[in-house]
Structure 1
Amino acid sequence: MRQTRITTIAAGAAVVALTVAGCSPNDTAENDGPVTLNLTIDQDMETLFPGDSGNADNIAILDVVYDGLVRYDPETTEPYNYVAESIESDDNTVWTIKVKPDLTFQNGEPVDAEAFVRSWNYTASHTELYSNYFFERFKGYEEMQDELDDEGAIVEENPIEELSGLKVVDDLTFEVTLNAPFAGFATMLGYTGFFPVAEECLEDVEACAITPIGNGPFQVTEWEQGVAVDAERWTDYPLDETPEGIDAINWKEYSGASSWADFEAGDIDVSYPAPADLAAAQEDPELSERFAEAPGAALTYIGFPLYKDGPWQDKEFRKAISMAIDRDTIINELSGGLATPADSWVVPGGVPGGEAGTCEWCTFDPEAAKAALEKAGGWPGGETLTIGLSDDETEIEYFKAIGDSIEANLGIPYELKPNPDFFTIRSEQGFDGAFRNNWFPDYPLNENYLSFYAVGEEGAGNFGWYSKEFEDKLAEGDQAATLDEAVVKYQEAEAILAEEFPTIPFRFSAGAEYYSERLDNVVLDPFSGAVKIRLLTVTE
């Protein structure tokens, strides 16, 4: 039998050791009071419950409030054990996980096998939670899901609250049984939805969603929703990965507005300008010395409501839209060189299996676009193409440029429909035209860019696209004997996606941030592009 094991990666351990070893906060910051790191929240944020947190902002906060079984090396993206002592399987179906001893939550409860099992059971048994679908691979998942109506509302709650595939073996050991082999299982376990949860938290989930009880280096003290989140250092934190010289963190909420003016005023430690301010920032020699960038893994792409009748049902129409978009010009003008036109659905080189050029129709070609539109039967006269997106100022500029390119090259009038409830509208299949999407991987595997297209039935999911051939190929990857073999099968699944072309890749975003004079060792997350708070040093 082949044995799969995730062990601590030497490179990751070296990065961490170099970063966190050395002087204490008092040595690095000579001041009269606590040092507060001032950061931003850019999207509307509703919860800090781990099993229900899926955007870049609440993930970034929870990354310092909680510790997971696995963390990811910021340079290689490879997983290494953190709270886990070991993660092992002989067959990629039954996995045994051992937790490191003597760890606690911020309320004193033990972080043990039960802490993970209770957390995973809760998220898996609550269909409405964001991370619920991550447990689809677990034995017993289907039997415990609530019955939903066509609008996604719960019709009947399922009384089963425990996954049959989860079992506590002893205080520090638990066993996971999957429905089928999945070589990438251990790779997933650094994701937010797999964090442990305190028993006190599940006694009042609503309170825990506002003031979580974590096991990480910082604990939330107050969240005034829509205004700010405050956290302070947990002085009893026992592990190594914690930032130097930071006593507290304040995240100010901007909800799509730019924080650049506050950054220039010295009120924010990390920010990035909107396109209108980008040229001035790049020409400032002082700012250029306080600039961090890294290859990004975030894909922005365009979806269509394939769950509704319309011209988008024809692949030729979707091809026409894609080839009418002048990606190079738009991205060069608005990104300042910190994004690249996307011609694939998985970031090339960013995760295992990512390859450039899988999208045949992602090249700007107005004449081919017109021919494809004619083949599709044209655009209905008198109609306007609506483009749904969030109310983020930067994305509005990008999608105005996209709409202008479509109108100029195909003669299709458009209207942007920004909405702060974008994510809800998307999940409820509420769009009547094209809509923006963004994805950065939850864990480093090409499967993670592709699996959310696997909806299991016609009309389901955010896009309403279904392909049995695609889903069968993903399943072949899941059941591969090794991760390398799985990656190849997932690449074959991407080729099917590319041929059927339900969505249009637009850009891959590099991580880029400007930071204040008092910050040092600024490293960006290889997935989201956000600053890795645990690696920061404050030198004021």
Structure 2
Amino acid sequence: MARLAAGLTALALVVTGCGGGDDDEGDGGATIRLPLSQDVETLLPMDSNVGDNISVLDVVYDGLVRYDPQTTKPYNYVAEDVSTTDNRVWTIKIKDGFEFQNGEPVDAEAFARAWNYAAYGPNAMGNYYFFERFAGYDAMQGEEPTAKELSGLKVVDPGTLEVTLKAPFAGFSTMLGYTGFFPVAQECLDDVDACATKPIGNGPFEIEEWDQGQSLTAVRWADYSGEETPDYDRIEWREYSGDSDWADFEAGDLDATFPPPAEWDRAANDPELSSRMVEGPGAALSYVGFPMYLGKPFDDIEFRKAISMAIDRDSIIEKVAPGRFVAADSWVVPDGVPGGVAGTCEFCTFDPAAAKAALKKAGGWPKGKKLTIHLGEDPESEAIFKAVGDSIQLNLGIPYQLDPTPDYFDRRTARDFTGIMRANWFADYPLNENYLAPVYGSGDPKKGNENFGYYNAEFEKLIKEGDAAPDLEAAVTKYQEAEKVIASDMASAPVAFGNNVMFYSDRLDDVVLDPFSGEVELRLVKVTD
């Protein structure tokens, strides 16, 4: 989903599937030094679902497919072929010759064991829900599951997996490059705790040492047989909190990062620094969620319109997070994934007069009561949503209070909120459905979806029709119709899309950003000294 300004060389690398050659062509110990800015607690693929984990694991593991960073289109990598005749039963052929870093084969069983472990509810893996489309998934959930393996997952032979879904899903093949679908070695499952800190991968780099909270190092795996082999030999990540890594970048101790808001203008207008900047659309959407399950005023569409039109998105971004975000006017990132279209949110346009009129139509806001804005504990999010609150207060006269909480997700799931919430969605695979069904879908007309209490039968119908479409193109069209239902209901208020930005040192060349994690594509970048 990133149309990045990559050079012809980088584009050629993507097209040919080659990242630089074998060990003899390396730079004799060349090292890339990068920051980790999130709290990375595990490197288990089935439990890793944030940008930094994904960036690390992208060079430690190989998946069935990989995504072209220019187009996000999946292309086969460990998979030889992914095919179906009905979009319900899928046959996955696996290439010969791939091994894990301990010598175990990367075969059909390696994927089956990983997926079964991930899907088994008691294992509490972060990516468990990605397997909810598989036949047999429901029997693996709850306090007393009746199965430990997916009935819809069959190892036909060492080179063939057969997947049977509960219902047809035309977009299934687009999911297979996501971290949660990576294979794992049997030795990894024999000692999951050890594998969480020192994974046994099958990619071009292997973890050397992880001093959690401090640093993480990986070295090129000499026996790697894949085509996409970087031309350097070592990656050193340093873990940071906040935006303290920018000073180290300017001092020459890091090879790529982005500036804090206070430094953005200087960096972007510095001729030398700006010549080493790459940017492009990101996959993340920040938005306001409404607890419709509480009833008035949150279940009133006019109130939701009022809140949305009262938010001065452009001014907030320019003031609080310049360069890192762009104002959102749709529920799917435009021009980034199949089906993404700009301008689907009519009421995302800043219009204080119309906002006041909508609030009046909704019956106003209770006098003397504060609007609570719930969110997690994150400095950037707090700054952005404080500005959102200021905009609402200024333009609608509604006083507010922020409620940053460390257990945000547990409280949201428990419906322990009394006001609007900062919500965020980070696309996991390149399909407009991924922005819609997982966020707004619900099989319960009475309770609605888990987080917001939203339900619309027409939306549910269109998502199912998209899933059952004969091909991906037809599916995308149905999902676009489903987004229009979300728009007509103003089910949430999009605020900002992430904008991937990175400044890099003069040691690097062919710098391309991963559209999903926003980090440097480590299989494409080159070290010049």
Please give the range of the TM-score, normalised by the shorter of the 2 chains.
Answer: over 0.9
Tell me if the contact between 1:287 and 1:514 (Cα under 8 Å) persists in the aligned partners. Answer: yes
Residue 192 and residue 430 in structure 1: after superposition, are their counterparts in 2 closer, same or farther (change >3 A)? farther
Structure 1 residues 273, 394: CA separation in 2 closer, same or farther (over 3 Å shift)?
farther
Q: Which residue of structure 2 aligns with residue 8 of structure 1? A: none
C-alpha distance after superposition, 1:137-164 (max 9, x if no partner): 1111122212xxxxxxxxx231411111
Corresponding residue number in structure 2 for 1:6: none
| Amino acid of the structure 1 residue aligned with 2:354 | A
Residue 167 (structure 2) pairs with residue 180 (structure 1): yes
Out of 376, 379, 385, the position equivalent to 1:399 is 385
Deviation at 1:537, TM superposition (A): 0.8
Aligned counterparts of 2:403 and 2:197: Cα–Cα separation in 1? 30
The yes-or-no answer on 1:63 pairing with 2:66 is no
CA 1:201–1:416 in structure 2 vs 1: closer, same or farther (change >3 Å)?
Answer: same
Q: Distance in 2 between matches of 1:200 and 1:292?
A: 40
Q: Which residue of 2 aligns with 1:95?
A: 90
Structure 2 residue corresponding to 1:168, chosen from 145, 151, 155: 155
List per-residue Cα deviations over 1:275-307 (Å, max 9, x = no partner): 111111112111011111123332221112334
**Match runs of 1:200-219 below 5 Å:** 200-219=187-206
Q: Which whole-Å CA distance do the structure 1 matches of 2:261 and 2:528 have between them? A: 30
- RMSD over equivalenced CA pairs, Å: 2.2
Q: 5+ unaligned residues in a row in structure 1: which ranges?
A: 1-10, 147-155
Question: Counterpart of 1:15?
Answer: 13
Call closer, same or farther: CA 1:249–1:455 in 2, change over 3 Å: farther
| Number of the residue aligned with 1:3 | none
C-alpha change, 1:224 and 1:388, in structure 2 (3 Å) is farther
Letter in 2 for 1:16: V
Letter paired with 1:324: A
Identify if the C-alpha distance between structure 1 residues 219 and 501 changes in structure 2 by more than 3 Å, giving closer, same or farther. same
Match of 2:437 in 1: 451
Cα 1:130–1:99 change in 2 (3 A) is same
The residue that corresponds to 2:350 in the other structure is 364
Aligned to 1:483: 472
Give the aligned residue type for 1:15. L
Pair 1:292 & 2:289 matched = no
Distance (whole Å) between structure 2 residues aligned to residue 409 and residue 497 of structure 1: 25
CA distance in 2 between counterparts of 1:175 and 1:23 reads: 33
Which residue of the other structure, out of 319, 323, 326, is the alignment partner of 1:340?
A: 326
C-alpha distance in structure 1 between counterparts of 2:250 and 2:15, whole Å: 33
Confirm or deny that 1:463 pairs with 2:452.
Answer: yes
Aligned-pair identity in percent equals: 60
Q: From 515, 532, 536, give the equivalent of 2:525.
A: 536
Distance 1:344 1:27 in 2: 46
- Greater shift, 20-29 or 216-225, is seen at 20-29
TM-score normalized by structure 2? 0.92
C-alpha distance in 1 between matches for 2:409 and 2:257: 24
Partner AA of 1:515 in structure 2: Y
2:6 corresponding residue in structure 1: none
Indicate the larger mover: 201-210 or 11-20.
11-20
After superposition, the Cα gap between the structure-2 partners of 1:328 and 1:213, relative to the gap in structure 1 and judged at 3 Å, is same
Q: Per-residue deviation at 1:256?
A: 4.0
The AA in structure 2 aligned to 1:231 is A
Alpha-carbon distance in structure 2 between the residues aligned to 1:455 and 1:221: 44
Question: C-alpha distance in 1, partners of 2:70/2:13?
Answer: 9
Q: 1:143 aligns with which of 139, 158, 178?
A: 139
Which of 517, 526, 532 is 2:506 aligned to? Answer: 517
For residues 343-354 of structure 1, the aligned pairs below 5 Å read 343-354=329-340
Distance 2:108 2:479 in 1: 32
- Tell me the equivalent position of 2:246: 260
Say if 1:343 and 1:359, in contact at 8 Å, map to a contact too: yes
Distance 1:184 1:253 in 2: 36
Question: Which secondary structure does the structure 1 equivalent of 2:109 belong to?
Answer: helix
Shift of 1:193: 0.8
Amino acid at match of 1:132: Y
Distance 1:265 1:431 in 2: 44
Mind listing any 5+ residue stretches in structure 2 that lack a counterpart? 1-8
CA separation of 1:192/1:403 partners in 2, compared to 1, >3 Å: closer, same or farther?
same
After TM superposition, the structure 1 stretch with the greater mean CA deviation from structure 2, 417-426 or 43-52, is 417-426
SS at match of 2:285: strand
Structure 1 length as normaliser, TM-score?
0.90
* In 1, Cα distance between equivalents of 2:50 and 2:155: 30
**Structure-1 separation of matches of 2:64 and 2:22:** 26
- Equivalent position of 1:230 in the other structure: 217
Q: Is the 8 A contact 1:28 1:539 kept in 2?
A: no
Match of 1:382 in 2: 368
Report matched runs for 1:22-61 at 5 Å.
29=27, 34-61=29-56
- Look up the SS of the partner of 1:229 in the other structure: strand
Aligned to 1:503: 492
Higher deviation after alignment, 99-108 or 385-394 = 385-394
- 1:62-108 per-residue CA deviation (whole Å, 9 max, x = no partner) reads 11111100001111111100000111111111111111112111111
